[in-house]
């Protein structure tokens, strides 16, 4: 079958909206019709060249949609099911899955090739195999994905809102709740308020932090943070350092979480300086994985017992966290509707990324109006 998709062919090139060939689902796979796809900075890394995937690749790793067909051996899903995609697959059996760390599932090793677990591709164009970003490719009307990447949700949920729970929400929320282990009364510094950082703000506030300090040079980001749980906001790291010293009587922040678009040495140094003795810095934002990009004073870590750690998917388990976040949305404790600044069609994906680069969006979302396949449930 054919599907329209936004394809990246090389570094620095825009998304090309083109018709590609899509295979039928094989063993353990499902055909999904996407209803919505979020514009996360991680796809911008591929376009910009901060992170280089295998090209060509269909972009998009935040997605929600409806299952139209299932391949042989699929038992957990059936046509008509509504799902939120996890940007990391969960096999359930590898060492990491079986020890409650399924965000580190071994099947996630190929998310930048976009190849499915059996080592083959379902998107093709002009004789080329195309991967799907994070084994998904949500910037496509339809895709064939592993059932390990799809979390079933109730049919009455708004997929155009819960789509954010495929990446931005669990990553941001979990960075505060799981990775930083925010405790009641904590002072938390959060650097960078995009689709990830805004959810770190929500997670820190929900976990009971006394001071949630949001740092972003852009006024629209600081305003959004204050509306969604930040007690304070600062334009620069220097201002945050000064404020946090005042707020904590010179002790420092308990935890600092880095959710900027591109992580650099400067922001990591600021975060390490802002935390107290025994405090933790969580690095959630990404940078070029092939380069050394930070340098730290080791004595500061030794003498003050500071911890610097990374966090992937908010250090949570997708099949546990996605349903939990949906419940928090339903109870009104977690805001999603308020996070969506602009919506786009698939054809406007480059415009959406320009808005992300220009700092206009908390989160942009592509909305599809693809009719269901003949005979498939609506």
Ligand X SMILES: NC(=O)c1ccc[n+]([C@@H]2O[C@H](COP(=O)([O-])OP(=O)(O)OC[C@H]3O[C@@H](n4cnc5c(N)ncnc54)[C@H](O)[C@@H]3O)[C@@H](O)[C@H]2O)c1
> Who contacts 125 (Cβ-Cβ below 8 Å, separation ≥6)?
7, 18, 20, 21, 56
Among 32, 40, 188, 258, binds Zn ion (CB under 5 A): 40
101 binds ligand X (CB under 6 A): no
H helix or E strand, kind and range, residue 16: strand 16-22
339 binds Zn ion (CB under 5 A): no
For ligand X, what does the binding mask look like between residues 275 and 304, x meaning CB under 6 A?
A: ---------xxx------------------
Instruction: Tell me how far apart the alpha carbons of residues 373 and 378 are, in angstroms, rounded to a whole number.
Output: 8
> Who contacts 127 (Cβ-Cβ below 8 Å, separation ≥6)?
none
CB atoms within 10 A of CB 174: 27
267 binds ligand X (CB under 6 A): yes
202 binds ligand X (CB under 6 A): no
Residue 339 CB-half CA count within 13 A: 30
Cβ-based nearer residue to ligand X, 67 or 163: 163
Residues in the chain: 378
Residue 345 CB-half CA count within 13 A: 5
In the bound complex, what is the minimum distance in angstroms from residue 213's beta carbon to ligand X? 11
For the chain, first and last CA: distance in Å? 18
In the bound complex, what is the minimum distance in angstroms from residue 272's beta carbon to ligand X? 14
- Concerning whether 94 is annotated as a catalytic residue, the answer is no
Within residues 77-96, the interface with Zn ion by CB under 5 A covers 91, 94
Report how far apart, in Å, the C-alpha atoms of 159 and of each of 148, 168, 270, 346 are.
19, 15, 38, 16
Cβ-based nearer residue to ligand X, 67 or 286: 286
171 binds ligand X (CB under 6 A): yes
Catalytic pick from 105, 167, 232, 270? 167
148 binds Zn ion (CB under 5 A): no
User: Among all residues, whose Cβ is closest to ligand X?
Assistant: 194
Residues in contact with ligand X by the rule CB under 6 A: 40-42, 45, 167, 171, 191-197, 215-218, 221, 259-261, 267, 284-286, 311-313, 356, 359
């Amino acid at each position: 079958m054919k599907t329209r998709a936004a394809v990246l062919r090389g570094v620095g090139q825009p998304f090309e909206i083109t018709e590609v060939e899509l295979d039928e689902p094989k063993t353990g796979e499902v055909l999904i019709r996407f209803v919505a796809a979020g514009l996360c900075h991680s796809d911008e890394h591929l376009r910009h060249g901060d992170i280089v995937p295998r090209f060509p690749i269909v972009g998009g790793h935040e997605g929600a949609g409806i299952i139209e067909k299932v391949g042989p051996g699929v038992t957990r899903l059936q046509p008509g099911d509504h799902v939120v995609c996890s940007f990391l697959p969960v096999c359930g059996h590898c060492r990491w899955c079986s020890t409650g760390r399924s965000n580190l599932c071994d099947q996630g090793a190929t998310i930048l090739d976009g190849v499915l677990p059996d080592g083959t591709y379902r998107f093709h164009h002009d004789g080329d195999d195309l991967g799907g970003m994070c084994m998904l490719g949500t910037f496509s009307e339809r895709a064939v994905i592993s059932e390990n990447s799809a979390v079933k949700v109730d049919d009455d949920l708004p997929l155009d809102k819960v789509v954010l729970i495929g990446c931005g929400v669990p990553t941001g929320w979990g960075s505060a709740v799981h990775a930083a282990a925010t405790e009641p009364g904590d002072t938390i510094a959060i650097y960078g308020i995009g689709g990830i950082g805004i959810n770190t703000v929500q997670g820190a506030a929900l976990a009971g932090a006394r001071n949630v300090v949001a740092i972003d040079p852009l006024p629209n980001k600081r305003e959004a943070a204050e509306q969604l749980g930040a007690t304070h906001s600062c334009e620069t790291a220097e201002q945050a350092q000064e404020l946090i010293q005042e707020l904590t009587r010179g002790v420092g922040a308990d935890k600092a979480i880095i959710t900027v678009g591109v992580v650099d040495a400067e922001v990591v140094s600021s975060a390490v300086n802002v935390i107290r003795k025994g405090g933790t810095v969580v690095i959630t934002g990404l940078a070029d994985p092939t380069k050394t990009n930070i340098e730290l004073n080791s004595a500061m870590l030794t003498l003050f017992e500071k911890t610097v750690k990374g966090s992937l998917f908010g250090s949570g388990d997708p099949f546990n966290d996605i349903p939990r976040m949906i419940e928090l949305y339903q109870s009104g404790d977690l805001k999603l509707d308020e996070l969506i600044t602009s919506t786009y069609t698939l054809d406007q994906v480059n415009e959406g990324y320009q808005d992300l680069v220009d700092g206009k969006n908390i989160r942009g979302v592509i909305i599809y109006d693809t009719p269901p396949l003949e005979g498939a449930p609506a």
